[in-house]
Chains A and B, each alone.
Chain A
Amino acid sequence: MLTQREIISTLEMLRNENLDVRTVTLGMNLLDCGGSDLSHVRRRIAERIMRLAGQLVPVCDRVGQKYGIPVVNKRIAVSPIAAVGAALSPAELVELARTLDAAAREVNVDFIGGFSALVEKGMARGDRSLIAAIPEALSATERVCASVNVASTRAGINMDAVILMGATIQRAAELSADRDGAACTKLCVFANIPEDIPFMAGAYLGIGEADAVINVGVSGPGVVKKAIDRALASQPDLDLGGLSELIKKTAYKVTRVGELIGREVAEHLGIPFGVVDLSLAPTPHVGDSVGEIFQSLGLLAIGVPGTTAALALLNDAVKKGGAFASSRVGGLSGAFIPVSEDLNISEAARQGHLCLEKLEAITSVCSVGLDMVAIPGDTSTDTLSAIIADEMAIGVINCKTTATRLIPVPGKKAGDHAFFGGLMGESVILPVNNARGSNPFIRRGGLIPAPIHSLKN
């Protein structure tokens, strides 16, 4: 018999604390769809997506309804298109992006990720073509997401790729200037990209994965915040060890929900279940914010001194709770700090509490990096590349994933407002040090070698 408390607290989480399954992402291998004949490649890919993902949305909706847990987004992640379309030209790859976009629309998923290249050690022909295609591919499509892994702890940082990505981001922003550079909201540059991320824009299906897999992204910043608020209301002198324990237990519950839904969707689709990515991923809605958690913990706003320590506590507790809840935890698993996607974080930036340098500092302890950061449109490609290089260095040296999703907003300057709409949100444009300057260090290119794995200080 269930207890009244178990039932009512579950309903509270669902109705008032925005507990949901943020995304069910179907990963599918497209490597055998490749070739040099564009029309054949397009046809095979479209058929594969229709066959594997045709029932994804109805099944997710049915399972969500059964448990009363909304599956907010349904998405697809494919093999890196740089490998699938290695024989194609940049113009042909743009056409392939249109095919992915049309197929995503057909099966009613909101994003399809995997317009991706892995170039941490070097760039092959297909990688160069894909990177060249990214600006137009992202501007001409609505649902296609791209990612490029330019660094890893084992390979070091491919600075030639970093330089290329600075220019690619700038060009993508120009091509979507009428939408404040929104094409860049679908482009991540990574160090140590995981092969099983269900969240966009970094989702792709890793080379080491099976034919198809269901990965789930759970969220729940609202649940964590309300748990903290309730605990502190009844026990105002609760110390940080106690708060960590509380967050851990809450993360456990959120993860269990994700695994339940993911396994059942996978079973209905006849596809193996992969991982739960337990990330505190906000949306631009009040009560669904990671930034609000910092205030509940006692900080004036995210960005003030104490933020890095608070995020370290939060991230670690989330991982511990999640790891206990499921033996299939993967992806990014941690807290996202996407500036424009979180009303509270965006407001902290507007008020001056959060600057680019502090964001960079906290990426040493959070799960991603400089995420959804709007910067002045006239930021030089050198400076864009330099920001990327700094972020990659944090990931490479600390053996963790880091990424950038930077949006140089065309025609706008620091302090102006950028509006991307929907889940991508809106944000003040953050000032950048040496925004328009050149950077001879970055331009030297080459490879920053992989770090030594002893002498850890």
Chain B
Amino acid sequence: MNKSILSILGRDRPGIVASVSRVLFEQNCNIENVSQTMLQTEFAGIFIVSMPDGMTSDALHHELDSRLTPLGLTVLTKPCDHGEDSCPAAECEPFVITTRGPDRKGLVAHISGVIARHGVNITNLQAMFKGGDEPGDNIMIYEVDVPKAVDLQALAADLRDRACELQLDISIQHRHIFEVLHRI
């Protein structure tokens, strides 16, 4: 399958997704997955598209760049050459790690470093730093997949130690508790 992954960045405003998808449609590309988010005023979108036979990622990039750069958007394109099933995932349990505490540089680096050292994958990260010492103003929420082979107690202990050094209040909970509490 001839696929490409695109990342589109730029100041948010109405019409960005429409502009990108118009180019893709005209190039006879099919959107397989798309995810977009906004951080403060900035738009970021990721598209995985299948391209018609003979088209290359470079050619698609050229087309997108020429149409979207004038709109103030930055385009990154790369071939997506791994099949969906080419990397078998280890059996995992989903956990949520939440921290609250005073803002300082390096919080994400420190906490994600501990998570990485234990071989745990972050599947979603939301962080909001308004600055200052008010704990509720500075929150990190990591959704992670913990492989069953990972020692959860050791991961939790390491995270707590690091959080303590950073004066962060940390909790590590199985994702199921949030779904059970809030969803029918």
Enumerate chain A residues within 8 angstroms of B139, measured Cβ to Cβ: 4, 8
CB distance from A456 to the nearest CB of B (A): 35
CB distance from B29 to the nearest CB of A (A): 26
* Among B98, B152, B180, contact of A256 (Cβ-Cβ < 8 Å): B180
Whether A2 contacts B177 by the Cβ 8 Å rule is: no
**Cα A58 to Cα B174 with chains together (Å):** 18
- Interface: B166 (CB within 8 A): no
- Interface: B66 (CB within 8 A): no
B132-184 CB contacts (< 8 Å) to partner A: 139, 141, 143, 152, 156, 171-182
- Interface: B86 (CB within 8 A): no
Q: Mask for A2-22, Cβ within 8 A of B = 1, else 0? A: 101011111101100000000
Interface class of chain A by DSSP: helix
Whether B172 contacts A1 by the Cβ 8 Å rule is: no
Whether A66 contacts B173 by the Cβ 8 Å rule is: yes
Knowing A1-B143, A67-B173 touch, does A7 contact B180 (C-beta < 8 A)? no
Knowing A2-B96, A4-B126, A11-B171 touch, does A69 contact B141 (C-beta < 8 A)? no
Knowing A1-B124, A1-B143, A68-B172 touch, does A257 contact B177 (C-beta < 8 A)? yes
Q: Mask for A247-271, Cβ within 8 A of B = 1, else 0? A: 0000001001101100000000000
Knowing A4-B141, A253-B182 touch, does A10 contact B177 (C-beta < 8 A)? yes
CB distance from A321 to the nearest CB of B (A): 12
**Cα A253 to Cα B180 with chains together (Å):** 8
**Cα A9 to Cα B136 with chains together (Å):** 12
What number of B residues sit within 8 Å (CB to CB) of A? 23
* Among A4, A66, A253, contact of B181 (Cβ-Cβ < 8 Å): A253
Whether A67 contacts B98 by the Cβ 8 Å rule is: no
**Cα A2 to Cα B124 with chains together (Å):** 9
Enumerate chain B residues within 8 angstroms of A69, measured Cβ to Cβ: 177
Whether B174 contacts A67 by the Cβ 8 Å rule is: yes
Knowing A1-B143, A66-B173, A68-B171 touch, does A7 contact B124 (C-beta < 8 A)? no
* Among A2, A66, A259, contact of B178 (Cβ-Cβ < 8 Å): A2
What number of A residues sit within 8 Å (CB to CB) of B? 21
Enumerate chain A residues within 8 angstroms of B141, measured Cβ to Cβ: 2, 4, 7
Enumerate chain B residues within 8 angstroms of A9, measured Cβ to Cβ: 182
Knowing A7-B141, A253-B182 touch, does A260 contact B176 (C-beta < 8 A)? yes
- Contacts across chains A and B counted by CB atoms under 8 Å: 57
CB distance from A104 to the nearest CB of B (A): 27
Enumerate chain A residues within 8 angstroms of B152, measured Cβ to Cβ: 66
* Among B124, B173, B180, B182, contact of A68 (Cβ-Cβ < 8 Å): B173
Whether A66 contacts B174 by the Cβ 8 Å rule is: yes
Enumerate chain B residues within 8 angstroms of A8, measured Cβ to Cβ: 98, 139
Enumerate chain A residues within 8 angstroms of B181, measured Cβ to Cβ: 6, 10, 13, 253, 256-257
Whether B174 contacts A10 by the Cβ 8 Å rule is: no
* Among A1, A10, A65, A67, contact of B182 (Cβ-Cβ < 8 Å): A10
CB distance from B94 to the nearest CB of A (A): 10
CB distance from B74 to the nearest CB of A (A): 25
**Cα A386 to Cα B178 with chains together (Å):** 49
* Among B128, B143, B178, contact of A10 (Cβ-Cβ < 8 Å): B178
**Cα A10 to Cα B173 with chains together (Å):** 11
Which among A6, A14, A253 has the greatest number of chain B C-beta atoms within 10 A?
A6
Knowing A4-B139, A67-B173, A68-B173 touch, does A11 contact B180 (C-beta < 8 A)? no
**Cα A281 to Cα B80 with chains together (Å):** 56
Enumerate chain B residues within 8 angstroms of A6, measured Cβ to Cβ: 178, 181-182
Enumerate chain B residues within 8 angstroms of A11, measured Cβ to Cβ: 98, 100, 171
**Cα A2 to Cα B126 with chains together (Å):** 10
Knowing A7-B98, A253-B182 touch, does A67 contact B176 (C-beta < 8 A)? yes
Enumerate chain B residues within 8 angstroms of A4, measured Cβ to Cβ: 126, 128, 139, 141
Which residue of chain B has its CB nearest to the CB of A324? Answer: B184
Q: Can you list 6 A-B contacts (CB < 8 A)?
A: A2-B96, A2-B175, A6-B181, A68-B173, A253-B182, A260-B177
The list of the 3 closest CB pairs from A to B, nearest first, reads A68-B173, A67-B177, A6-B182
A interface residues, Cβ below 8 angstroms from B: 1-2, 4, 6-11, 13-14, 65-69, 253, 256-257, 259-260
A2-B143, A66-B173 given. 5 additional CB < 8 A pairs?
Answer: A1-B143, A9-B182, A68-B172, A256-B181, A257-B177
